[in-house]
């Protein structure tokens, strides 16, 4: 599932400038890492980590879950550089 999301993200990142590193940590399901202008499922250190369930990640990327709402409801937790997390909104647009 995360590999499919990574493939879609790679396509979307082609037209966007994102010079930071961001990891979506979906626990036992795995990770999705945005770095170096691409997306992968290989774990690595990043500027910012967002802990989120795979289900909620799918909703977030589909636009069915707003980042601010998810944060307030505890559906995602941010650690590291909050500025990078804020850039996520630009990527999702």
Per-residue pLDDT tens for 55-78? 999 999 899 999 889 999 999 999
Q: Note whether 92 and 61 are within 8 A (CB).
A: yes
Q: What does the pLDDT look like over 32-44, one tens digit per residue?
A: 999 988 999 999 9
pLDDT of 51 above 80 = yes
> What pLDDT shows up at residue 92?
65
Kindly give the pairing relationship between strand 48-52 and strand 22-25: parallel
Classify residue 59 by burial, with Cβ atoms within 10 Å: 0-12, 13-18, 19+: middle
- pTM, whole model, 2 decimals? 0.91
What mean pLDDT is reported for the chain?
Answer: 91
């Amino acid at each position: 599932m995360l590999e499919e999301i990574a493939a879609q993200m790679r396509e979307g990142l082609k037209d966007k400038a994102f010079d930071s590193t961001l990891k979506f940590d979906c626990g036992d399901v795995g990770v999705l890492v945005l770095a170096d202008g691409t997306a992968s499922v290989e774990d690595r250190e990043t500027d910012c980590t967002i802990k989120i369930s795979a289900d909620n990640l799918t909703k977030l990327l589909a636009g069915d879950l707003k980042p601010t709402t998810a944060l307030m409801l505890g559906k995602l937790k941010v650690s590291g550089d909050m500025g990078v997390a804020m850039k996520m909104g630009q990527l999702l647009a």
